[in-house]
Amino acid sequence: MSETLSAGDLGALFGALRARGYRVVGPAVRDGAIVQAELSEPAELPVGWTDEQEPGSYRLSRRGDGAYFGYAVGPHSWKAELLPPRVRLWQAQRENGGLAVEEPPSESEPTAFVGVRPCELAAIEIQDRVFLGGRFQDADYAARRSDVFLVAVECGTPSSLCFCSAQGTGPGATEGFDLALTELLDGDHRFLVRAGSPAGEAVLADLPTRPATREDVDASGLVVAAAARAQTGRFDGEGVQSLLLRNLESPVWDAVAERCLSCGNCTLVCPTCFCTHVEDTSSLDGATAARDRVWDTCFSLRYAEMHGGNTRPTTRARYRQWLTHKLATWEDQFGTAGCVGCGRCIAWCPAGIDIRAEVKAIRAEEDAHAHA
């Protein structure tokens, strides 16, 4: 059942989470961007801030109101918490004709993610499939994932780059959360709150809420509907999987390769990109060795390096690999789509490459060719 929480009581949510031993991570303004940080109170949220995003551009600007979550998404995604950039897998010593391997316990602590966008809920679900749904599981991811409490916040202010509605991942939150908030700014500043799990219900019970009125529920529906409407026509994903796989030699790849710097920003900010590599090190005296799991990017020149060569030496090949993986072959590998429509890769690309436009170009090129 839905409840309504007055905006002024948002601190009670923080209190209830901390009382249960959760550290709270949520959005905060740092260095001109809305990033993830450990928070102790609602005042640390990006109150009254919004973001303006274009291909290759991200700016913060002031809103006319005191909205806590009046922006779209920032460069950070929750993978920084669930799949940290560097994790020590083990340390080992040579010992009496054997190896003494020490596996440090996961550094995971109970954490509440506050401000999880519906597209981010979908991204977490996609990564769950990768790390928990196969024959081999990632133990660190599993430990962190089981320690997490998710507070979703539906979108009221999508950016011009958002296309979650085309990808079916938002702007409303339907499942995968413990609590879901919708910020209502008309009249009293308040939040519609829904529980999505027994843990969520338990926390909800501790909050000074009142049962939601018909008007509150309708208002939150309108917020989400307006956010969806704002995205109409932004991305034509119809049959994108087979479109890309049919056009692996399209000249569009050559054209985008001229602009792409192969910097990997897109993979850093993408909430579903998960590639890592393994770093083996040893102490100077050779007595101790260690292995870390470290974030990697398929744009790195060394990514496809194999003894005596490289299977993707050109930017064209690496860009094609990234985009076809994200929009097409991810589904073959893991049974879900790879892209959640958050638009981060478009904003944070220094060359301003817009994947929606690239898909459109491939479609147009194919059509032009067919009629030639």
Partner 1 sequence: MATVAEPLAAYGAMVPLAYTVARSRRENHDNWTLELEPVDAAIDPIGPGQFDMLYAFGVGEVPISNSGDPDRVPTLVHTIRAVGPVTKALCAARPGDVVGVRGPFGNQWPLHEAVGRELVLVGGGVGLPPLRPALYKALAHRDELAGLHVLYGGRTPRDLLFTRELEQWRARWDVTVGVTVDAGDADWRGNVGVVTKLIPGASFDPANSVAFVVGPEIMMRFTARALLARGLPPERIWISMERTMRCGIGLCGHCQLGPTLICRDGPIYRLDEITPLLEVPEL
Partner 2 sequence: MRTLDTLIGENPVFQGLAAAQLEFLAGCGQNVAFDAGDRLFREGDSADTFFLVRHGLVALDAYVPNRGQMTVETVGAGEIVGWSWLVSPFRWHFTGRAVEPVRAIQFDGACIREKLEADPKLGYELLTRFSQVIVERLQSTRLQLMDVYGNGR
Where on the chain is the footprint of partner 2 (CB under 8 A)?
307-309
Work out what residue 309 binds among partner 2, partner 1, none; the CB cut-off runs from 5 to 8 Å by kind: partner 2
Angle 340-344-349 from CA coordinates, rounded to 5°:
135
Number of C-beta neighbours around residue 308 at 10 A: 5
Does position 126 bind partner 1 by CB under 8 A? no
Q: Which stretch binds partner 1 (CB under 8 A): 67-75, 147-155, 352-360, 361-369?
A: 147-155
Q: Are 158 and 227 in contact (CB under 8 A)?
A: yes
Phi, psi of 60 (to 5 degrees): -100, 145
Q: Does 239 bind partner 1 (CB under 8 A)?
A: no
182 - beta bridge partners? 192
Residue 282 contacts partner 1 per CB under 8 A = yes
Question: Does 277 sit near partner 1 (CB under 8 A)?
Answer: yes
Taking residues 330 to 349 in sequence order and writing x for each that binds partner 1 by CB under 8 A, - otherwise, the string is --xx----------------
* Six token digits for residue 74: 């920032």
Residue 261, binding choice from partner 2, partner 1, none, Cβ under 5 to 8 Å by partner class:
none
Nearest alpha-carbon partner for 232 in 314, 318, 164, 289: 164
In this complex, which beta carbon is closest to partner 1, that of residue 187 or of residue 286?
Answer: 286
Report the residue from 19, 43, 101, 225 that binds partner 1 according to the rule CB under 8 A: 101
From 291, 336, 357, 361, residue interacting with partner 1 (rule: CB under 8 A): 291
Q: Which residue, 97 or 308, is less far from partner 2 as judged by CB?
A: 308
Both tokens assigned to 155 = 């979108």
Per rule CB under 8 A, is residue 63 in the interface with partner 1? no
Contact segment (CB under 8 A) with partner 1 among 71-79, 124-132, 203-211, 220-228 equals 124-132
How far is the CA of 191 from the CAs of 3, 117, 348, in angstroms?
Answer: 8, 15, 30
- Looking at beta carbons only, is 16 or 212 nearer to partner 1? 16
- Give the one residue of 69, 113, 303, 348 binding partner 1; rule: CB under 8 A: 303
Asked if 64 touches partner 1 (CB under 8 A), the answer is no
Cα 233 to Cα 360: distance, rounded to the nearest angstrom: 12
- CA 10 – CA 346 distance, rounded (Å): 32
Between 62 and 307, name the residue whose CB sits nearer to partner 2. Answer: 307
Residue 79 binds partner 1, judged by CB under 8 A: no
Query: CB 298 → partner 2: shortest distance, Å?
Result: 22
| 208 touches 5 (CB < 8 A) | yes
Closest to partner 2 by CB, 306 or 368: 306
225 binds partner 1 (CB under 8 A): no
Among 54, 125, 201, 254, binds partner 1 (CB under 8 A): 125
Q: Which of 10, 126, 150, 252 binds partner 1 (CB under 8 A)?
A: 150
User: Which of 209, 231, 272, 324 contacts partner 1 by CB under 8 A?
Assistant: 324
**How many C-beta neighbours within 10 Å does residue 103 have?**
11
Nearest approach in angstroms of CB 65 to partner 1 is 32
In the complex, minimum distance from the CB of residue 117 to partner 1, in angstroms, rounded to a whole number: 16
One of 76, 190, 312, 326 touching partner 1 (CB under 8 A) = 312
How large is the C-alpha radius of gyration of the chain? 22
Q: How far is CA 213 from CA 188, 330, 362, in A?
A: 13, 42, 48
Best CA proximity match to 197, nearest among 182, 180, 178, 181: 178
- Tell me which of partner 1, partner 2, none is bound by residue 62, counting a contact when its beta carbon lies within the kind-specific cut-off of 5 to 8 angstroms: none
26 within 8 A of 76, measured Cβ to Cβ: no
Burial of 110 (0-12, 13-18, 19+ CB in 10 A): middle
- Confirm if 33 and 74 have CB atoms less than 8 A apart: yes
* Residues 16, 201 contacting (CB under 8 angstroms): no
